[in-house]
Structure 1
Amino acid sequence: MAGVSAALQWWEESQLRILVIASLVIQYILLVGSVARRYPIRSWFRPIIWLAYLGSDAIAIYGLATLFNRHRKPQNDGDEGILELLWAPILLIHLGGQDGITAYNIEDNELWTRHILTSVSQVTVAVYVFWKSWQGRFEKILLAAAQALFIPGILKCIEKPLAFNRASINSLVSLGEPIRRSIHTHKLRIDPLEDFIDKATSPIGASEYLLTSATPVDFTPYKLFVDLASPSVEDRIRVLLSFSTLDGNHAYCKLQHWLSNTFLLLYTKKKV
């Protein structure tokens, strides 16, 4: 029993340090994973990224909860109390996550309302812990450092659910411009599929649909991932004929760029 009591006592004293270190290690894994998952990677590395993604929020929330529970007890004026002043905003920054990996699966974006509630509750806990920690007991330099960490921490917690919302299906649908369904049929009869194929492969009259370098193809690949109506045949012919003027390497680079932007929109905080 003495050994169990000693182990519990050690865990009580060290759990906060362990949680902060574990949260930091997870953030490093996510930082590497956010770059690596855009390229072909080993199959064994994907579960590691997935576990780190799932555990990042849990560890940060557990750490903030531990801080909250500690401050319900008599305050510690030693070095531990000084560290706790900084750990609250650091855990808040970790809760905001890495900019390069907001969602692991596309379905994660639909949970943006849950992340708003999580962010609000954890920011409240962090502010409470911060207020209970300092109360005039520490130097102004340390207090200023903690306040400087709080600003990016709160911003990251706010930015994360906004990124989820921006990449959700409803938001992507609302971003789309109204689809033009009518075309000038007196100029171009392309209602039947055969006419569309014939017009798309015929050089005659194609010049009015070709785009110059000053007017690049307006194509947003993310529309393929949502339930949007197909663009008008006129738009599809314009894109098709414009691509037909490009060499294979140039067309490949354009598609790669557009798909990369779609990935950034769906899975990261980057605005494209």
Structure 2
Amino acid sequence: MKKVILSALTLSTSLFAINVIDNPSSDIININVSNSSVNRIVLPTQILDVAYSKEKGIDIKISGNQAFIKFLPIQKERVRSVGKDRYEPVGEPEIVYDKAKGSEVFFVTANRTYSFALNPKNMDAETVIINDFSAQKDEILKYESDDPYMSTMAKITESILKGGVPQGYKIKKINKVASSDKTLTTIELTNYDGLLYKATLLEVENKTDKAIRLNPKDYISIAKEAPKAISIYYNNEVNHLLPYSKAQIIIITKGGRNTNGGVFDGGMPK
């Protein structure tokens, strides 16, 4: 199977710090979340339904295996007295976030119902990724093999660049410098482990005052196996790594979780 180089994508996204919870065993997963920003929960498989009390002042949107959660603020009017028992508003209403109350949310997937206790705090937006190692292999294999090869590479890449996790993949944070010189520093951020494929997320920083066009072939040596796809995301319209800015690189290789020496034995030629 030929190697594919996916050119720079023009996705509107940013990468956030993530909180990874491996194989949660408790009935309720307790997490702190932002009381003012949009939080995100990423589950191993597609979310089929969600249940929560809307009286708690919380809004939840579902997209595939991701849930976007925001606590609704309260508008507090400023008023002044203009007579006996008479008041009029003064200025714009004050937006109050610190009145948000904790809420329990249930996410239903094909194999499990996940229960979360959300504790709103004065903090930055939180992204929580659940690694459930009991995820069925046939679900992951279906995700990796249902679409044409190039579509699968693009699907895995897009999921990671949007800050998500390919369906059923295990995620491991690395945060290790892979290479560094006077021009560029490359950091290996995260590994994603599927059945047929593995993916690695890199971050490349330009330390110069000149724009640079990255060559995907320069990053082949970082991969543990021969790459199946290398994608570069510059986060700009000119498709160059601008001075003192950063780009993301996704490297997809063959081989993932299995019981036969590192390569899933089925579905794809070795």
Using the size of structure 2 for normalisation, the TM-score is 0.22
- Larger % of strand: which? 2
Using the size of structure 1 for normalisation, the TM-score is 0.22
CA radius of gyration, larger in: 1
